[in-house]
Structure 1
Amino acid sequence: MQELKVGAGRFVVGAKAIQNLKREMQYFGKKALIIGGPSSVDKVAECVDLNDLGIVHRHTGECSKRWAEDYSEIVKQEQCDLIIGIGGGKCIDLAKCAATYANCPIITVPTSVATCAASSAVCIMYTDEGRSDGSVGMNREVDVVLADSEIIKNSPKRLWGAGLVDSLAKLPEVIHNLTIKNHKDCDLNKYICYINGKVIWEFIMGEGYVLADDQKDLGLVENMIVTNLIHTSIVSGFSSGSGQLALAHGLYDFIRREFVKEAKDILHGEIVGVGLIMQMYYNGDDPQEIENLKSFMEHFGMPMNLRDIHYEDTDDNRRKLIEYLTKSTNVTDVERLEKALEKIK
């Protein structure tokens, strides 16, 4: 039996979409617990009176299960009807996890496209020290995503780059250990991921350069928001349940486990980007496509190798990395993995 959680209950995107926040929350109740990073909350507070909607918590800690439990208790103690998560991936995942523990509705308000967390039905969690701590599956899809294009378009170029490359990873990761030419080469869910991954790759590689240099075209901005915040999460939804990472996100998980302090300031998509180069070499992808990816990442000023993400390539660290990737990504050719690692050292 499959239990797919794909997409969101409602996905609202557009200029001044944030002004619909009070109307959207009234479907679920009158009082919200609002969780978000300080700067993100301040951005949204410029557009809507958050204090009129409930209790505002500017979160500065980690996205941990302990914090999620604390916030779920606040929901009960303060008799809140729902949670609103504001900001980037970690704050939104924290809000989603708290809503899951409290069994209450969740509205997400992303302020960048740095990850697809706003509409995904899984919460990526960390310890209070910042170390990877697995994930928490939500008991239902995100109820509402409010993506205000005027807020998101002004996010830093670095966040745009991290989000676009994180979405690009879907296609090379789908074909990890596989050769897919048609629907008979894999199960249907995997093929759906493959076809959608191709669309995501084509659109981002075709329009990402334009967006990097000029966010004045609000239509393009909104198309990219849809691509990164809902289309990408749909791929994640259909790929859920495999129990295996692929190389790009496998590297991310390893770095967040073993180089917590060293890579603290490196963004999710930046680490994934380095892993994506490795993934494409491992896949045996067209060398020109790999060069195209590298040029794209360089245009956004992203890290390009393991040194850039503060991984120290000692013999011991290399052994740990290979062991972790071999186990967690179900690598079938260790020699090919070692050669791919050489390309990013």
Structure 2
Amino acid sequence: MAKIIASPSRYIQGKGELKNIRTHVEKLGTKWFILTSPSGKKRVEPAIGQSLSGSECTAVYEDFNGECCDSEIGRITEVYQRSGCDVVIGIGGGKIHDTAKAVAHGVGAPVVIVPTIASTDAPCSALSVIYTDDGVFDRYLFLPASPNIVLVDTDIVAAAPARLLISGMGDALATYFEARACRDSDAGNCVGGKTTLAAMQLARLCYDTLLADGFQAALAVENHVCTKAVEKVIEANTYLSGIGFESGGLAGAHAIHNGLTAIEQTHKLYHGEKVAFGTLVQLVLEDAAIEELEEVLDFCMSVGLPTTLADLGIEQVEPEKIMEVARLACADTDTLHNMPFEVNADMVYAAIMGADALGKAYKDE
């Protein structure tokens, strides 16, 4: 199997860059179908309107209903087909991005992703995570190409609640460890190939950037400013993690996240918050060196990412429910089987409980 790395055709990041969106997107189409939330529309419409002023480009906005599921993808596809538009633009968070990518793929249109938060690594990937209408993980939809353009206005991203940037750090935290596991097991990545040297280096740079700048970035956004540390972490959360996970591969951390969606109490948590705990579970499953575990625990606690089941909202631990998480994580179609050793539900159950115990012990120190 060949080694393959994938990326958006163009990644653009800068302060106030949304005001320049027309110069980037008009090459793809002039009739824009913009999928966003009502609150997202309020945040971005003035800048987009300013960019469109005096041009031949027009925009049609459509409200996102909140879940990246088959029914919502189908609904939006029908609206798009009636709109007469020629390019799909997804503006918002990860579920909007994934829905926009799925719709664009279905109708054969170019797609532009504009994150208003840096809470996941979804923007750059050729992948949509599909959930049920009730928010339970269903499947991965692998797409033939990454987005045509990813445009990040760091002023907008930095103005979002700090918890969202921190959640993105949780998602990005898994990138290096999952890519490492896939490399060690010689597993395939998310684009039908094997891990490249470039993907591994981007994944490692992602981790190193979080350790170097994550705490400073969290403090900055909590105080509503965009510093150089924030700019670096936005790039790590969005681009380095996006390329690193897709071209490096997924393994235990995201499978644990998918299993956790079976517990209703976790639905109020963001994707990256659950992935952060999944990273600890993967490291326990691997019997990682205590120095590495402590480094990850230190980082999570410094920025406020979950390190225990209680942090995920699971105050009363019921063994049968944790076993359900373990079984779902071990589904034949999930990525836990990319680990460099055979894994079963009993092992995952033990690793979840072990990670929880480590988190509790670390908090008590």
The reply to whether TM is greater than 0.5 is yes
CA contact (8 A) 1:108 1:145 kept: yes
Aligned residues: CA RMSD: 2.5
Aligned counterpart in structure 2 of residue 225 of structure 1, from 202, 222, 234 = 234
CA contact (8 A) 1:83 1:106 kept: yes
Aligned counterpart in structure 2 of residue 340 of structure 1, from 345, 348, 351 = 351
User: Helix, strand or coil for the counterpart of 1:47?
Assistant: helix
Shift of 1:336: 5.5
The reply to whether residue 207 of structure 1 matches residue 236 of structure 2 is no
Aligned counterpart in structure 2 of residue 74 of structure 1, from 56, 75, 79 = 79
Shift of 1:83: 0.8
The reply to whether residue 109 of structure 1 matches residue 120 of structure 2 is no
Show the 5 A alignment for 1:301-340: 301-311=304-314, 313-327=317-331, 328=334, 329-330=336-337, 332=342, 337-340=348-351
Q: What is the aligned partner in structure 1 of residue 149 from structure 2?
A: 144
The reply to whether residue 246 of structure 1 matches residue 225 of structure 2 is no
Q: What is the aligned partner in structure 2 of residue 196 from structure 1?
A: 202
The reply to whether residue 295 of structure 1 matches residue 298 of structure 2 is yes
Tell me the alpha carbon deviations over residues 307-343 of structure 1, each in whole angstroms, 9 at most, x when there is no partner.
3323453232233233333444125255764542222
Q: Any stretches of 5+ residues in structure 1 without a counterpart?
A: 181-186
CA distance in 2 between partners of 1:121 and 1:231 (Å): 14
CA contact (8 A) 2:162 2:218 kept: yes
The reply to whether residue 283 of structure 1 matches residue 296 of structure 2 is no
User: Helix, strand or coil for the counterpart of 2:268?
Assistant: coil
Runs of 4+ in 1 over 6 A off after TM superposition: none
CA contact (8 A) 1:149 1:218 kept: no
Q: Any stretches of 5+ residues in structure 2 without a counterpart?
A: 186-192, 357-365
TM-score (norm 1): 0.87
* Matched positions, count: 333
| AA at the equivalent of 2:23 | R
Shift of 1:276: 1.0
Moved more, 200-209 or 32-41: 32-41
| AA at the equivalent of 1:34 | I
Moved more, 315-324 or 55-64: 315-324
Shift of 1:211: 0.8
TM-score (norm 2): 0.83
| AA at the equivalent of 1:340 | A
Structure-2 change in CA distance of 1:332 and 1:211 (3 Å): same
User: Helix, strand or coil for the counterpart of 1:166?
Assistant: helix
User: Helix, strand or coil for the counterpart of 2:133?
Assistant: coil
Structure-2 change in CA distance of 1:46 and 1:54 (3 Å): closer
Q: What is the aligned partner in structure 2 of residue 183 from structure 1?
A: none
Aligned counterpart in structure 2 of residue 267 of structure 1, from 267, 270, 283 = 270
